Amino acid sequence: MEKLNVSPNEALTSMAKTPRRLVSLFLSTLFLAAGCQTGPWGSVKSFSPRTPEGQAMKLAAGLYQRGASLNTLAARGGVNFIADGRRNFFHFEALVLKPGRLVFTALNPTGNPAFRLASDGTQLTGIIYGARQYITGPATTENFGRFIPLGLSPNQLIAIMSGSQVRPASASYQPLGENTELTIVPAETLDNDKNVWRLRLTGGLTQDPLKAVIVTAVHGETLNPDITIRYLSVRELPREDEGGRLEPFPQAVEVGWNLNQQKRNLRITYDDVRLGLTLEPATFTLDKPAGFKLIQLP
């Protein structure tokens, strides 16, 4: 089989050295919501009991529904991460259609496509322009990692990009001055300190989930989290599928985690985002260009 060349220019060469595992145990339940920059918090009080009812659960469920209702988006921006002591950066364009459909284009320094990758939920197709290669195979995490080597499945990247949030089985809250911290036990997850998400929100417990701004989402033990997400520089964007209703959305999402006793960091910055636009499923399959070499992935 011909070698798959996913680094057609100098700007993308170092991506191939990034580890293909991104603590998948935690990312498998990761559904992110919108937020803004972290800041000081007020006095800390005791958490309420975790329960599948009550105001904390109502707010947690509303945040989940807000993210789950966003089925499509289009975005342009930049990806920045450090791996093996090297900083990697490239610009991208992306289309998302839930469930599982993604078109992701990495741009070279001249603004032209370096590679384009599409998942229709089950099948992966890709085009590497400089090497004139057309790639197809199952939409597995391993195959996806040949292009975006962060150990992510297409659905996990969709969750990060589209502002989803964990589905709650129970929740509790802690007032932090005028703000709130939610502790959420994800559905189908054991109720212990290693398997909860802690969300810090601006505003109080009774606020409208459609307008709530999440500052951070932390998974794992309070003093020893497995993964931390920060939502930076929030803005309100119109939902085209909701008659122009404004919804909080971050201008950047920053994810930090530990892998092999080394700190890892991924930052996605958005230059332009459209929420809830109309997209057709046929968009998420790429046709083979004339003269390109076919490569079949396992």
Mean pLDDT of the 76-101 span: 87
What the block records as the tokens of 177 is 């001055």
CATH superfamily, domain 10-296, is Lipoprotein localisation LolA/LolB/LppX (2.50.20.10)
Mean pLDDT of the 103-128 span: 95
**86: number of Cβ within 10 Å:** 11
Q: Domain residues of the chain, as ranges?
A: 10-296
Mean pLDDT of the 117-133 span: 95
**Gap between the Cα atoms of 127 and 288, Å rounded:** 8
Q: What is the pLDDT of residue 3?
A: 53
**Gap between the Cα atoms of 26 and 264, Å rounded:** 14
Mean pLDDT of the 136-155 span: 86
> In a 3-state reduction of DSSP, which class is residue 239?
strand
**56: number of Cβ within 10 Å:** 25
Indicate if the pLDDT at residue 179 is higher than 70: yes
**Nearest one of 218, 209, 213, 157 to 184, comparing CA atoms:** 218
Q: What is the pLDDT of residue 21?
A: 39
pLDDT class of 50 with cuts at 50, 70, 90: confident
**195: number of Cβ within 10 Å:** 17
pLDDT class of 258 with cuts at 50, 70, 90: low
CA 209, 72, 275, 226 torsion: positive or negative?
positive
Torsion on CA atoms 1, 83, 226, 94, rounded to nearest 10: -70
Q: What is the pLDDT of residue 92?
A: 95
Comparing 233 with 12, the larger pLDDT belongs to 233
**Gap between the Cα atoms of 34 and 165, Å rounded:** 9
Mean pLDDT of the 50-56 span: 90
Mean pLDDT of the 32-57 span: 59
| Mean pLDDT score across all residues of the chain | 82
∠ CA 129-124-298, rounded to 5°: 100
Indicate if the pLDDT at residue 11 is higher than 50: no
